[in-house]
């Protein structure tokens, strides 16, 4: 076997192991969402069921946390994206001497632990509320507002990095040409720079929303009396979970993969169009507008998912979940009865063995009992009881000698005679 083949096999094995480690838990958790067992498990399998999706929808606490997470996520996008864009534009206009200092300061919030950011945000706005004599119903103590502020402190740095990477590909000659032609700074930004930053704006918005949606370290301190999806999930994991969490994971994974796939397809399509325009000019652009069947994989993917779902529903049209649960319950009951019978038989066998041993060799059983008495100093021996009785009989004599015979009956008679005399 050649070294190139060994290297190829090793690389393939490593890639398979890497993806199994990365996606294995997600796949297992997704499968447990369709098991009717009350606890998320893959084996033993009970019945195929989608009831946990209904349990998830009917969980009011979970739905309230999900709604608050959506509100906070969109609010963080509205706050973080403009701040990140402003920071990136300012960084691009600074001199080479000041730029490293500004860059270090802006990304320092990423290096700070989320626990520190959450506690500091809570304490700072609590002191601000006390300074303005604001009540607890004001926004200074509102959990959603504090969470948006706390998360935006470090998510804005993430969005700024996205805009910086996009601005590195921007040609400043376009801005100079627009300004020379009489355009104002606002017109140059709106007509030239903003269209160029559209892909970065979309990527930064998605990144900010996902970072806010899954954040826990900062949110657990700033949310105060409210709750988000992550805090609700943490409390459920602490006090007991059911497969409705797996159902939620299936929904989130499906949405994430769909959005990521669509974003990747659109990004590659845009890159291919830019390369084609640079190589062949406007004629290629006109040709690219002609759509060919199945050229875009997004409709193909949606159609495939629809066909698979329709086929699964058609195959499961005669499947009764309740009947399956009854059958599984009967199997478990029979298995439990068999285990009980087996245990009773083993116990009866042990008792019979002990009885036969004691009846066949009584001397041996007596010898076996002897070590028990010797172990505790022979205190349970019958002779000890006789010795105790004898010691009780001699005790009065000892008391007589101890108290110089003052309790003897003769002493009482002598005392009576002396009083009569």
What's the CATH code of the domain at 178? 1.10.3720.10
The answer to whether the CB of 205 falls within 8 A of the CB of 198 is no
* 89 lies in the same domain as 165: yes
Does 227 score more than 60 pLDDT? yes
CB neighbours of 77 closer than 8 A, spacing ≥ 6?
205, 208, 209, 212
| Angstrom distance (rounded) from CA 421 to CA 417 | 6
Same domain, 153 and 275: yes
Q: What is the pLDDT of residue 291?
A: 47
Residue 171 Cα distances to 80, 87, 175, 280, 416, angstroms: 25, 19, 8, 21, 134
Whether residues 87 and 163 fall in one domain: yes
Which pair of structure tokens corresponds to residue 190?
């709106």
Range of the domain at 421: 369-421
Identify the three-state secondary structure at position 48: strand
Residue 355 lies in a domain: no
pLDDT digits (tens, 9 = 90+) for 338-357: 899 899 888 888 888 887 87
Same domain, 376 and 304: no
- φ, ψ of residue 98 to 5 degrees: the values are -90, -25
202 belongs to a structural domain:
yes
In terms of pLDDT, which residue wins out, 76 or 43?
A: 76
The pLDDT score that the predictor gives to residue 8 is 87
240 and 106 in a single domain? The answer is: yes
pLDDT, tens digit (0-9, with 9 covering 90-100), for 117-152 = 999 999 999 898 888 888 878 888 889 999 999 999
Q: Which residue has the higher pLDDT, 91 or 42?
A: 91
Do residues 248 and 391 both lie within one domain? Answer: no
Q: Count of domains in the chain?
A: 2
Q: Is the pLDDT of residue 196 over 70?
A: yes
The answer on 284 and 417 residing in a single domain is no
Question: What is the per-residue pLDDT across 396-406, written as a single tens digit (0 to 9) for each?
Answer: 454 444 555 55
Please, what is the average pLDDT of the chain?
Answer: 79
* Chain centroid offset of residue 235 CA: 10
The single-letter DSSP state of residue 141 is G
């Amino acid at each position: 076997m050649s070294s190139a083949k060994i290297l190829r096999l090793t690389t393939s094995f490593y890639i398979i192991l890497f993806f199994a480690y990365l996606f294995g838990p997600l796949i297992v958790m997704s499968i447990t969402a369709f098991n009717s067992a009350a606890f998320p498990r893959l084996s033993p399998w009970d019945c195929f069921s989608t009831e946990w999706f209904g349990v998830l929808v009917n969980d009011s606490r979970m739905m309230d946390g999900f709604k608050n997470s959506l509100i906070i996520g969109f609010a963080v996008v509205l706050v973080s994206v403009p701040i990140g864009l402003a920071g990136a534009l300012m960084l691009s206009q600074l001199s080479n001497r000041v730029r490293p200092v500004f860059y270090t300061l802006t990304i320092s919030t990423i290096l700070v632990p989320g626990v520190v950011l959450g506690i500091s945000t809570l304490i700072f706005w609590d002191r601000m509320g006390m300074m303005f004599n604001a009540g607890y119903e004001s926004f200074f103590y509102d959990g959603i507002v504090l969470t948006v502020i706390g998360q935006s402190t470090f998510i804005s740095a993430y969005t700024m990095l996205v805009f910086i990477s996009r601005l590195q590909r921007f040609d400043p000659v376009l801005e100079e040409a627009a300004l020379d032609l009489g355009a104002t700074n606002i017109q140059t930004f709106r007509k030239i720079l903003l269209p160029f930053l559209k892909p970065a704006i979309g990527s930064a918005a998605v990144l900010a929303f996902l970072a806010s949606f899954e954040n826990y370290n900062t949110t657990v301190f700033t949310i105060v009396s409210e709750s988000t999806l992550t805090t609700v999930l943490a409390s459920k994991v602490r006090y007991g979970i059911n497969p409705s969490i797996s159902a939620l994971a299936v929904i989130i994974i499906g949405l994430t993969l769909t959005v990521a796939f669509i974003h990747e397809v659109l990004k590659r399509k845009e890159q291919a169009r830019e390369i084609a325009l640079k190589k062949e000019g406007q004629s290629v652009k006109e040709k690219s507008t002609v759509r060919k069947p199945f050229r875009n994989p997004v409709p193909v993917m949606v159609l495939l998912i629809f066909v698979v779902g329709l086929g699964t529903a058609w195959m499961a049209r005669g499947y009764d979940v309740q009947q399956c649960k009854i059958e599984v319950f009967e199997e478990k009951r029979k298995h439990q009865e068999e285990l009980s019978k087996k245990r009773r038989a083993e116990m009866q066998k042990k008792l019979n063995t002990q009885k036969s041993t004691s009846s066949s060799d009584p001397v041996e059983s007596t010898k076996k009992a002897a070590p028990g008495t010797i172990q505790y100093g022979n205190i349970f021996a019958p002779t000890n009881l006789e010795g105790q009785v004898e010691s009780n009989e001699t005790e009065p004599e000892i008391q007589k000698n101890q108290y110089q015979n003052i309790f003897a009956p003769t002493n009482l008679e002598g005392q009576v005679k002396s009083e009569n005399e």
